[in-house]
Structure 1
Amino acid sequence: MTRFAAIDFETADNGRDAACSVAVVVAENGRVVHSLARLIRPPRPRVMFTEIHGLTWDDVKDAPDFAGVWPELAEMVAGVDFLAAHNAAFDRRVLEGCCATYGLPDPAKPFLCTVQVARDQWNLRPTKLPDVARYLCLTLKHHDALSDATACANIVLAALEEGYDLGRRLPGF
Protein backbone atom coordinates (compact mmCIF):
# COMPACT_ATOMS: atom_id res chain seq x y z
CA MET A 1 0.00 0.00 0.00
CA THR A 2 1.47 3.35 -1.07
CA ARG A 3 0.52 6.40 0.97
CA PHE A 4 1.85 9.72 -0.22
CA ALA A 5 1.18 13.44 0.07
CA ALA A 6 1.21 15.93 -2.77
CA ILE A 7 2.30 19.37 -1.63
CA ASP A 8 2.18 22.76 -3.29
CA PHE A 9 3.37 26.16 -2.12
CA GLU A 10 2.64 29.60 -3.46
CA THR A 11 5.20 32.22 -2.50
CA ALA A 12 5.15 35.93 -1.77
CA ASP A 13 8.69 36.81 -2.86
CA ASN A 14 11.93 35.18 -3.95
CA GLY A 15 12.93 34.08 -0.44
CA ARG A 16 13.03 30.35 0.25
CA ASP A 17 10.91 31.00 3.35
CA ALA A 18 8.28 33.16 1.63
CA ALA A 19 5.35 30.72 1.56
CA CYS A 20 2.01 32.54 1.50
CA SER A 21 -0.16 29.50 0.74
CA VAL A 22 0.22 25.75 1.07
CA ALA A 23 -1.88 22.70 0.29
CA VAL A 24 -1.33 19.05 1.10
CA VAL A 25 -3.34 16.25 -0.48
CA VAL A 26 -2.91 12.75 0.94
CA ALA A 27 -3.62 9.69 -1.19
CA GLU A 28 -3.64 6.00 -0.37
CA ASN A 29 -5.09 2.87 -1.91
CA GLY A 30 -5.43 4.63 -5.26
CA ARG A 31 -7.50 7.61 -4.12
CA VAL A 32 -7.31 10.95 -2.38
CA VAL A 33 -8.29 10.57 1.28
CA HIS A 34 -7.54 13.96 2.84
CA SER A 35 -6.67 17.51 1.86
CA LEU A 36 -5.72 20.70 3.61
CA ALA A 37 -5.14 24.24 2.32
CA ARG A 38 -3.93 27.16 4.40
CA LEU A 39 -2.93 30.76 3.85
CA ILE A 40 0.36 31.70 5.47
CA ARG A 41 1.62 35.11 6.57
CA PRO A 42 5.06 35.34 4.97
CA PRO A 43 7.99 36.68 7.03
CA ARG A 44 8.15 39.93 5.04
CA PRO A 45 5.17 42.24 4.41
CA ARG A 46 5.26 42.16 0.64
CA VAL A 47 3.69 39.98 -1.97
CA MET A 48 5.50 40.26 -5.29
CA PHE A 49 3.68 37.51 -7.18
CA THR A 50 0.03 38.58 -6.93
CA GLU A 51 -0.24 38.48 -10.72
CA ILE A 52 0.60 34.77 -10.61
CA HIS A 53 -1.48 33.42 -7.71
CA GLY A 54 -3.87 36.28 -6.98
CA LEU A 55 -2.92 36.62 -3.31
CA THR A 56 -2.20 40.03 -1.79
CA TRP A 57 -0.76 41.15 1.54
CA ASP A 58 -4.31 41.90 2.69
CA ASP A 59 -5.21 38.25 2.01
CA VAL A 60 -2.39 36.86 4.16
CA LYS A 61 -1.49 39.50 6.77
CA ASP A 62 -3.83 38.01 9.40
CA ALA A 63 -3.02 34.37 8.59
CA PRO A 64 -0.73 32.35 10.87
CA ASP A 65 2.94 32.25 9.98
CA PHE A 66 4.49 28.97 8.83
CA ALA A 67 5.12 27.87 12.42
CA GLY A 68 1.40 28.28 13.05
CA VAL A 69 0.35 25.98 10.21
CA TRP A 70 3.21 23.51 10.69
CA PRO A 71 1.50 21.27 13.28
CA GLU A 72 -1.33 20.42 10.86
CA LEU A 73 1.07 19.92 7.95
CA ALA A 74 3.45 17.77 9.99
CA GLU A 75 0.58 15.57 11.12
CA MET A 76 -0.59 15.05 7.55
CA VAL A 77 2.83 14.09 6.19
CA ALA A 78 3.98 12.04 9.18
CA GLY A 79 2.57 8.75 7.91
CA VAL A 80 3.34 9.06 4.20
CA ASP A 81 5.96 7.18 2.22
CA PHE A 82 6.97 10.21 0.13
CA LEU A 83 5.99 13.71 -0.91
CA ALA A 84 5.07 14.56 -4.48
CA ALA A 85 5.24 17.97 -6.12
CA HIS A 86 5.24 19.33 -9.63
CA ASN A 87 8.73 20.75 -10.09
CA ALA A 88 9.60 19.23 -6.73
CA ALA A 89 12.88 21.11 -6.34
CA PHE A 90 10.92 24.36 -5.86
CA ASP A 91 8.51 23.00 -3.25
CA ARG A 92 11.31 21.17 -1.44
CA ARG A 93 13.33 24.41 -1.22
CA VAL A 94 10.31 26.30 0.14
CA LEU A 95 9.58 23.59 2.72
CA GLU A 96 13.22 23.46 3.83
CA GLY A 97 13.47 27.27 3.89
CA CYS A 98 10.32 27.68 5.97
CA CYS A 99 11.39 24.96 8.40
CA ALA A 100 14.83 26.54 8.78
CA THR A 101 13.48 30.05 9.32
CA TYR A 102 11.10 28.92 12.04
CA GLY A 103 13.40 26.33 13.64
CA LEU A 104 11.14 23.42 12.73
CA PRO A 105 12.17 19.87 11.83
CA ASP A 106 12.14 19.12 8.12
CA PRO A 107 9.93 16.06 7.54
CA ALA A 108 12.84 14.37 5.73
CA LYS A 109 10.63 12.53 3.25
CA PRO A 110 11.80 11.70 -0.25
CA PHE A 111 10.28 13.88 -2.98
CA LEU A 112 8.81 12.57 -6.22
CA CYS A 113 8.70 15.11 -9.03
CA THR A 114 5.61 14.79 -11.21
CA VAL A 115 7.40 16.59 -14.05
CA GLN A 116 9.67 13.55 -14.21
CA VAL A 117 6.75 11.14 -13.75
CA ALA A 118 4.95 12.71 -16.72
CA ARG A 119 8.07 12.45 -18.87
CA ASP A 120 8.75 8.87 -17.78
CA GLN A 121 5.21 7.54 -18.02
CA TRP A 122 3.69 9.43 -20.97
CA ASN A 123 6.74 10.95 -22.68
CA LEU A 124 5.13 14.37 -22.35
CA ARG A 125 6.76 17.63 -23.38
CA PRO A 126 6.14 20.31 -22.34
CA THR A 127 5.45 19.18 -18.79
CA LYS A 128 4.14 22.31 -17.12
CA LEU A 129 1.31 21.46 -14.74
CA PRO A 130 -1.44 22.77 -17.06
CA ASP A 131 -0.05 20.63 -19.91
CA VAL A 132 -0.01 17.44 -17.83
CA ALA A 133 -3.44 18.19 -16.35
CA ARG A 134 -4.85 18.74 -19.83
CA TYR A 135 -3.32 15.45 -21.05
CA LEU A 136 -4.93 13.59 -18.14
CA CYS A 137 -8.22 15.57 -18.35
CA LEU A 138 -7.76 16.92 -14.82
CA THR A 139 -9.49 20.05 -13.60
CA LEU A 140 -6.95 22.71 -12.68
CA LYS A 141 -7.03 26.27 -11.40
CA HIS A 142 -3.30 26.81 -11.82
CA HIS A 143 -1.44 28.54 -8.96
CA ASP A 144 -4.21 27.79 -6.49
CA ALA A 145 -2.29 25.63 -4.01
CA LEU A 146 -5.13 23.16 -3.38
CA SER A 147 -5.91 22.76 -7.07
CA ASP A 148 -2.22 22.29 -7.92
CA ALA A 149 -1.66 19.77 -5.12
CA THR A 150 -4.79 17.85 -6.10
CA ALA A 151 -3.65 17.71 -9.73
CA CYS A 152 -0.22 16.55 -8.60
CA ALA A 153 -1.73 13.76 -6.49
CA ASN A 154 -3.87 12.69 -9.44
CA ILE A 155 -0.84 12.61 -11.73
CA VAL A 156 0.88 10.19 -9.37
CA LEU A 157 -2.30 8.11 -9.00
CA ALA A 158 -2.77 7.91 -12.79
CA ALA A 159 0.84 6.85 -13.29
CA LEU A 160 0.63 4.23 -10.53
CA GLU A 161 -2.61 2.89 -12.00
CA GLU A 162 -0.72 2.36 -15.24
CA GLY A 163 2.07 0.50 -13.46
CA TYR A 164 4.57 3.31 -12.91
CA ASP A 165 7.65 2.03 -11.09
CA LEU A 166 8.29 4.36 -8.15
CA GLY A 167 11.77 2.88 -7.83
CA ARG A 168 12.71 4.68 -11.02
CA ARG A 169 12.67 8.00 -9.15
CA LEU A 170 12.55 6.96 -5.48
CA PRO A 171 15.35 4.57 -4.55
CA GLY A 172 14.10 1.82 -2.29
CA PHE A 173 10.56 1.61 -3.68
Structure 2
Amino acid sequence: MQGINFIAIDFETATGKRASICEAGICVVRDGEIVETRSWLVRPQGNSYSYWNMQIHGIRPNDTVYSPEFPEVWAEICGYLKDIPVLVAHNAAFDIGCIRHSLELYGMEKPDITYYCSLRAARKLYNFGCNSLDYLCDQFKIPYGQHHRAGDDAEMCARLFLREIKDFGLCGLEEMKYYGGKL
Protein backbone atom coordinates (compact mmCIF):
# COMPACT_ATOMS: atom_id res chain seq x y z
CA MET A 1 0.00 0.00 0.00
CA GLN A 2 2.60 2.46 -1.14
CA GLY A 3 1.71 6.05 -0.23
CA ILE A 4 -0.87 5.12 2.45
CA ASN A 5 0.33 7.18 5.41
CA PHE A 6 -1.74 8.16 8.43
CA ILE A 7 -1.81 8.24 12.21
CA ALA A 8 -4.65 6.41 13.90
CA ILE A 9 -5.55 8.13 17.16
CA ASP A 10 -7.67 7.34 20.17
CA PHE A 11 -8.50 9.11 23.42
CA GLU A 12 -9.97 8.00 26.71
CA THR A 13 -11.66 10.63 28.85
CA ALA A 14 -11.95 11.02 32.60
CA THR A 15 -15.47 12.45 32.53
CA GLY A 16 -18.24 13.09 30.03
CA LYS A 17 -16.41 16.24 28.90
CA ARG A 18 -14.41 15.87 25.72
CA ALA A 19 -11.59 18.03 27.12
CA SER A 20 -11.01 15.57 29.99
CA ILE A 21 -8.49 13.39 28.14
CA CYS A 22 -6.79 10.93 30.50
CA GLU A 23 -5.06 8.77 27.88
CA ALA A 24 -3.93 9.37 24.30
CA GLY A 25 -2.80 6.72 21.84
CA ILE A 26 -1.43 6.81 18.32
CA CYS A 27 -0.52 4.22 15.72
CA VAL A 28 1.71 5.42 12.90
CA VAL A 29 1.18 3.87 9.44
CA ARG A 30 3.70 4.44 6.63
CA ASP A 31 3.19 2.93 3.20
CA GLY A 32 0.40 0.76 4.57
CA GLU A 33 2.54 -0.73 7.36
CA ILE A 34 2.28 -0.11 11.09
CA VAL A 35 5.62 1.28 12.22
CA GLU A 36 4.92 2.49 15.76
CA THR A 37 2.23 2.48 18.44
CA ARG A 38 2.45 4.76 21.50
CA SER A 39 0.26 5.84 24.36
CA TRP A 40 0.47 8.45 27.09
CA LEU A 41 -1.40 8.81 30.33
CA VAL A 42 -2.63 12.40 30.57
CA ARG A 43 -3.61 14.33 33.69
CA PRO A 44 -7.01 15.88 32.99
CA GLN A 45 -7.65 19.34 34.39
CA GLY A 46 -8.28 18.93 38.13
CA ASN A 47 -7.48 15.19 37.78
CA SER A 48 -11.18 14.44 38.42
CA TYR A 49 -12.87 11.31 37.12
CA SER A 50 -16.41 10.05 36.84
CA TYR A 51 -17.25 6.60 38.13
CA TRP A 52 -18.68 5.54 34.76
CA ASN A 53 -15.62 6.50 32.77
CA MET A 54 -13.35 4.65 35.20
CA GLN A 55 -15.53 1.56 34.74
CA ILE A 56 -15.01 1.72 30.97
CA HIS A 57 -11.23 2.12 30.75
CA GLY A 58 -9.96 1.37 34.26
CA ILE A 59 -7.84 4.52 34.48
CA ARG A 60 -8.00 6.20 37.90
CA PRO A 61 -6.82 9.53 39.36
CA ASN A 62 -3.84 7.78 41.01
CA ASP A 63 -2.70 6.67 37.54
CA THR A 64 -2.52 10.21 36.18
CA VAL A 65 -1.70 12.37 39.20
CA TYR A 66 1.91 12.81 38.02
CA SER A 67 1.25 12.54 34.28
CA PRO A 68 1.72 15.45 31.89
CA GLU A 69 -1.29 17.57 30.92
CA PHE A 70 -2.69 17.68 27.39
CA PRO A 71 -0.44 20.48 26.02
CA GLU A 72 2.74 18.48 26.70
CA VAL A 73 1.34 15.27 25.20
CA TRP A 74 -0.14 17.14 22.22
CA ALA A 75 3.30 18.65 21.51
CA GLU A 76 4.70 15.11 21.22
CA ILE A 77 1.83 13.99 18.98
CA CYS A 78 2.39 17.06 16.79
CA GLY A 79 5.95 15.88 16.25
CA TYR A 80 4.45 12.90 14.39
CA LEU A 81 1.89 15.06 12.60
CA LYS A 82 4.65 17.18 11.02
CA ASP A 83 5.53 14.22 8.78
CA ILE A 84 2.02 12.77 8.44
CA PRO A 85 -0.72 15.42 8.91
CA VAL A 86 -3.51 12.84 8.57
CA LEU A 87 -5.49 11.33 11.45
CA VAL A 88 -7.84 8.34 11.47
CA ALA A 89 -10.19 7.55 14.33
CA HIS A 90 -13.03 5.12 14.91
CA ASN A 91 -15.95 7.45 15.62
CA ALA A 92 -13.91 10.50 14.66
CA ALA A 93 -16.67 12.79 15.92
CA PHE A 94 -15.63 11.82 19.45
CA ASP A 95 -11.84 11.82 19.08
CA ILE A 96 -11.64 14.93 16.89
CA GLY A 97 -14.02 16.58 19.38
CA CYS A 98 -11.58 15.68 22.17
CA ILE A 99 -8.78 17.44 20.29
CA ARG A 100 -10.87 20.52 19.46
CA HIS A 101 -12.22 20.93 23.01
CA SER A 102 -8.80 20.36 24.59
CA LEU A 103 -7.11 22.84 22.26
CA GLU A 104 -9.79 25.38 23.18
CA LEU A 105 -9.51 24.66 26.92
CA TYR A 106 -5.77 25.26 26.89
CA GLY A 107 -5.89 28.18 24.41
CA MET A 108 -3.83 26.34 21.81
CA GLU A 109 -3.77 26.81 18.05
CA LYS A 110 -5.61 24.32 15.86
CA PRO A 111 -3.24 22.72 13.30
CA ASP A 112 -4.15 22.06 9.66
CA ILE A 113 -4.96 18.36 9.88
CA THR A 114 -7.10 16.10 7.70
CA TYR A 115 -8.96 13.26 9.38
CA TYR A 116 -10.90 10.16 8.38
CA CYS A 117 -13.44 8.08 10.25
CA SER A 118 -13.19 4.29 10.13
CA LEU A 119 -16.68 4.02 11.68
CA ARG A 120 -18.33 6.00 8.86
CA ALA A 121 -16.46 3.90 6.32
CA ALA A 122 -17.54 0.65 8.03
CA ARG A 123 -21.19 1.71 8.01
CA LYS A 124 -20.97 2.32 4.26
CA LEU A 125 -18.92 -0.75 3.39
CA TYR A 126 -20.16 -3.55 5.61
CA ASN A 127 -23.58 -4.90 6.49
CA PHE A 128 -23.12 -5.71 10.15
CA GLY A 129 -25.70 -4.95 12.82
CA CYS A 130 -22.91 -3.52 14.97
CA ASN A 131 -19.97 -1.37 13.91
CA SER A 132 -18.13 -0.95 17.20
CA LEU A 133 -14.36 -1.18 16.97
CA ASP A 134 -14.05 -4.40 18.96
CA TYR A 135 -16.93 -6.08 17.07
CA LEU A 136 -15.43 -5.24 13.66
CA CYS A 137 -11.99 -6.40 14.76
CA ASP A 138 -13.52 -9.68 15.93
CA GLN A 139 -15.26 -10.12 12.56
CA PHE A 140 -12.02 -9.62 10.64
CA LYS A 141 -9.80 -11.41 13.17
CA ILE A 142 -7.82 -8.23 13.76
CA PRO A 143 -5.74 -8.76 16.89
CA TYR A 144 -5.96 -6.34 19.74
CA GLY A 145 -4.80 -5.86 23.28
CA GLN A 146 -7.01 -4.22 25.87
CA HIS A 147 -10.07 -2.52 24.39
CA HIS A 148 -10.65 1.00 25.77
CA ARG A 149 -6.95 1.60 26.26
CA ALA A 150 -5.85 4.31 23.85
CA GLY A 151 -2.74 2.74 22.33
CA ASP A 152 -4.42 -0.60 21.73
CA ASP A 153 -7.55 1.04 20.28
CA ALA A 154 -5.45 3.25 18.00
CA GLU A 155 -3.70 0.17 16.60
CA MET A 156 -7.02 -1.66 16.18
CA CYS A 157 -8.35 1.37 14.30
CA ALA A 158 -5.27 1.47 12.05
CA ARG A 159 -5.61 -2.21 11.17
CA LEU A 160 -9.34 -1.82 10.51
CA PHE A 161 -8.84 1.26 8.32
CA LEU A 162 -6.20 -0.55 6.25
CA ARG A 163 -8.72 -3.37 5.77
CA GLU A 164 -11.40 -0.87 4.72
CA ILE A 165 -9.09 0.73 2.13
CA LYS A 166 -8.39 -2.73 0.72
CA ASP A 167 -12.08 -3.74 0.76
CA PHE A 168 -13.09 -0.49 -0.97
CA GLY A 169 -10.43 -1.26 -3.61
CA LEU A 170 -8.87 2.18 -3.18
CA CYS A 171 -5.40 3.32 -4.06
CA GLY A 172 -5.10 6.37 -1.82
CA LEU A 173 -6.56 8.23 1.13
CA GLU A 174 -7.91 11.08 -0.98
CA GLU A 175 -10.50 8.60 -2.31
CA MET A 176 -11.84 8.32 1.25
CA LYS A 177 -12.69 12.04 1.49
CA TYR A 178 -16.41 11.33 2.09
CA TYR A 179 -15.41 9.71 5.38
CA GLY A 180 -13.39 12.59 6.73
CA GLY A 181 -12.89 16.30 7.18
CA LYS A 182 -10.54 18.96 8.51
CA LEU A 183 -9.63 19.46 12.15
The question of a shared fold, defined as TM-score above 0.5 by the shorter chain, is answered with yes
Shift in alpha-carbon separation, 1:19–1:170, aligned structure 2, 3 A: closer
Shift in alpha-carbon separation, 1:109–1:124, aligned structure 2, 3 A: farther
Give the superposition deviation at 1:81: 4.7
Give the superposition deviation at 1:14: 1.7
The TM-score normalised by the length of structure 2 is 0.87
Q: Which consecutive segments of 4 or more residues in structure 1 shift more than 4 A?
A: none
The TM-score normalised by the length of structure 1 is 0.91
Given candidates 90, 96, 99, the residue that maps to 1:92 is 96
Give unpaired runs (5+ residues) of structure 2: none
The 10-residue stretch of structure 1 (78-87 or 68-77) with the greater mean CA deviation from structure 2: 78-87
Q: Secondary structure at the match of 2:155?
A: helix
Measured on the aligned residues, the alpha-carbon RMSD in Å equals: 1.6
Over the matched positions of the two proteins, sequence identity in percent amounts to 29
Shift in alpha-carbon separation, 1:170–1:53, aligned structure 2, 3 A: closer
Correspondence for 2:19: 17
The 10-residue stretch of structure 1 (116-125 or 58-67) with the greater mean CA deviation from structure 2: 116-125
Query: Aligned equivalents of 1:7 and 1:118: distance in 2?
Result: 17
Checking the alignment, whether the CA contact within 8 Å between 2:14 and 2:22 is kept in structure 1 is: yes
Given candidates 55, 70, 73, the residue that maps to 1:51 is 55
Give unpaired runs (5+ residues) of structure 1: none
Correspondence for 2:44: 42
Query: Aligned equivalents of 2:127 and 2:112: distance in 1?
Result: 29
Checking the alignment, whether the CA contact within 8 Å between 2:9 and 2:95 is kept in structure 1 is: yes
Q: Residues 45-90 of structure 1: CA distance to partner in whole angstroms, max 9, x if unpaired?
A: 3111110000000000100001121221111122225211111100
Correspondence for 2:151: 146
Correspondence for 1:69: 73
The 10-residue stretch of structure 1 (156-165 or 83-92) with the greater mean CA deviation from structure 2: 156-165
Checking the alignment, whether the CA contact within 8 Å between 1:2 and 1:81 is kept in structure 2 is: no
Query: Aligned equivalents of 1:5 and 1:104: distance in 2?
Result: 21
User: How many pairs align?
Assistant: 171
The 10-residue stretch of structure 1 (103-112 or 80-89) with the greater mean CA deviation from structure 2: 103-112
